[in-house]
Chain A
Amino acid sequence: MLEIKDVTVKFGGVTALNAVSASFTQTVAGIIGPNGAGKTTLMNVLSGFVTPVAGAVNRDGQDILTIRPHRRAHWGLRRSFQREEIADDLTTFENVMVQLDHGRAGGGDLRGEVEQALAFVGMSDRAHVHGAELNTFQRRLTDVAKCMVGQPQIVMFDEPAGGLSLDESKHLGGLIRKMGAETGAQVLVIDHDVDLIREICIETLVLDFGERIAFGPTAEVLDDPKVKAAYLGIEEVEA
């Protein structure tokens, strides 16, 4: 279980997150909301890139906000960014390996683990291709493989389907769902693609202007009038 408790973030006079709380109990959960809702800020809080003025984030009794940002990856935090962060001059294999280089699972069959992750995402045949030669979808798959290795505890995907075709997006969604079951990690997915969220996330947190406006089973949350209003505008809902 991942428990986010009263997380508040302020940038000067702007409150980006206002006492946001949520207890994620399902393996794959979504975080949605209109632009500027605070989704990525929440992810940045978990990553350690943004320090909240108040709040705590607990996973199995460990407050991850007390861990230094780069040590969170050692602990088991994984994340992908809106833009795939794949090093152009490293091969696909090396791009995944770099996650294990600094992971907590010292020793063991690291190469085997990378090969397994690449096989899982269907990138085994591109293992020795440089990042610069991969297309957007392949880079995104490499990102997923990176998030799989080294016993992840929490995996966060920030708009993973951005720039992908419908089929690619569907394939990626399937992988993310399978990944949650396979690794046992808490998977959090931020995306504007509501169909993708509906497809893969069992529960969903909705933010708007830094406030939690809904949280619960995805189907229920997406039918919530407040959520529709936040996404589509009040007039359309009323109409």
Chain B
Amino acid sequence: MRGIYHITPSGWAGLAFAAFCFVVLPEISGRLWLSVFTSTGCFVVAIAGVAFVYARLGMVSLTQVGLMGIGGWVTLRLGYYWDLPFEVNVLIAGLVCMVFGCLLALPALRMRGLYLALVTLMAAGGLDIIFVTFQFPNGGEGFWGVAMTGGQQIAGPVLAAGPEGYLRLVVGVALLSFLLIEAHCRTKPGRAWAMIRRSEASAIAVGVNVALYKTWAFAIAGLLGGIAGGLLAGSIGILDAATFRATESIMLFVLAVVGGSRYWLGVVIAATLYKILPALLNNWGVSADLSFVIFGAGLLHAVITAPDGIAKQIYDGVAGSVTKKKQEATRA
């Protein structure tokens, strides 16, 4: 059995990548790209949640962007209302979304597959309408906190100053998110989820409380969605309902499948395709809508040749070349 502190080669690569993003990336990026990378980091956290539920439980949740919206709303509301540190507001937003995640788990107790996906999509659609109708707080009065003209921005994080610091904060949170998921997967909950994915009957036969562990998984996805939304709110300052369309949740899920939902690299690939690719296309003077064509091609590629995603193909390629080199060295 893997020890909880055992670091795999993929884990070392992930830590090295996080270190690069933490130390080097903020130093070499201009203002525009700092914003793009920060936004990408936020979506890494959100996609980690949706990919986690799919990879561990085999369940499709299409509400992740809606949960991000709730997280953003709570962070902005608290930011304008109280003088709590930004980090505390984000954490509270995550906890609120955890509760929403638990509510989303209720249909998951009875449904799977397409039916569950449709129910979660309907929840995302409902949230979409709420966001469009009530908008996001911008310093106005009352419960909804919406003013005709936006006021000052909410206070920034205590732990990080400036856009470079904010990117580092997001990278740190993304790393903690992956560690949280990995810690779960290596211990009792991870084994319970593996049995549930195998079959609920076999999980019950070994004593797994299926309702509890499904709820737990959705709560974690909710937590990550809420934190991602809070971080996005802190990064942009003012949120727009168009960011949290129900269709975006479908996009996140599709990209998680294309990237490889079981791997940190798959989540990073998904977020890169979602946020960095359109920015690159814009930078090259090409319409960002072209990215949808690329997403479609990526999905076809995943369905036909890479059911475990691009990340698995990369891992297999690296493992294959390492084995080949070892064999050559042995022969020599």
Contact = CB atoms under 8 A, between A and B. Distances in A.
Interface of A: 47-49, 69-74, 77-79, 81, 85-91, 93-94, 97-99, 101-103, 111, 128, 146
A102 B199 contact: no
A158 to B, nearest CB: 10
Nearest to A87: B194
16 contacts: A49-B204, A70-B208, A70-B209, A71-B207, A74-B207, A78-B205, A81-B202, A85-B205, A86-B198, A87-B198, A93-B1, A94-B191, A98-B191, A98-B192, A98-B195, A102-B209
A72 B207 CA distance: 7
A69 B211 CA distance: 12
B1 A91 contact: yes
A48 B188 contact: no
B207 A87 contact: no
Contacts of B207: 70-74, 99, 101-103
A94 B191 CA distance: 7
Nearest to B56: A89
B206 A98 contact: yes
A90 B210 contact: no
A79 B202 CA distance: 9
A146 B198 CA distance: 15
Contacts of A85: 195, 198-199, 201-202, 205
Contacts of A70: 203-204, 207-210
A101 B192 contact: yes
Contacts of A102: 192, 206-209
A81 B201 contact: yes
A23 B203 CA distance: 29
Contacts of B208: 70, 98, 102
B185 to A, nearest CB: 9
A23 B195 CA distance: 33
Greatest chain A CB density within 10 A among B191, B201, B207, B209 is at: B207
B197 interface: yes
A51 to B, nearest CB: 14
Contacts of B204: 47-49, 69-70, 73
A97 B191 CA distance: 8
A111 B201 CA distance: 25
Given A48-B204, A102-B192, A87 B197 contact: yes
Contacts of A69: 204
Interface of B: 1-2, 188, 191-192, 194-195, 197-199, 201-210
A10 to B, nearest CB: 21
A93 B192 CA distance: 14
Nearest to A75: B207
Given A71-B207, A97-B191, A98-B192, A49 B1 contact: no
Nearest to A150: B207
Contacts of A72: 207
Q: Considering the complex of A and B, which 5 residue pairs feature the smallest CB-CB distances, nearest first?
A: A73-B207, A102-B207, A85-B202, A87-B194, A98-B191
B22 to A, nearest CB: 30
Nearest to A86: B198
Contacts of B205: 47, 73, 77-79, 81, 85
Nearest to B187: A101
Contacts of A88: 198
Given A81-B201, A111-B1, 14 more contacts: A48-B204, A49-B201, A49-B204, A70-B207, A70-B209, A79-B205, A87-B198, A88-B198, A99-B206, A101-B188, A101-B207, A102-B206, A102-B207, A102-B208
A73 B1 contact: no
Contacts of A90: 191, 194
Contacts of A97: 1, 191
A87 B201 contact: no
Contacts of B1: 91, 93-94, 97, 111, 128
Contacts of A146: 206
A18 B309 CA distance: 51
Contacts of A101: 188, 191-192, 206-207
A128 B3 CA distance: 12
A48 B192 CA distance: 19
Nearest to B55: A89
B204 to A, nearest CB: 5
A224 to B, nearest CB: 32
A186 to B, nearest CB: 16
Nearest to B197: A87
Nearest to A48: B204
B262 to A, nearest CB: 8
Nearest to A92: B1
Contacts of A71: 207
Contacts of A47: 201, 204-205
A77 B206 CA distance: 9
B252 to A, nearest CB: 23
A71 B204 CA distance: 8
Contacts of B210: 70
A219 B1 CA distance: 44
Contacts of B188: 101
B301 to A, nearest CB: 23
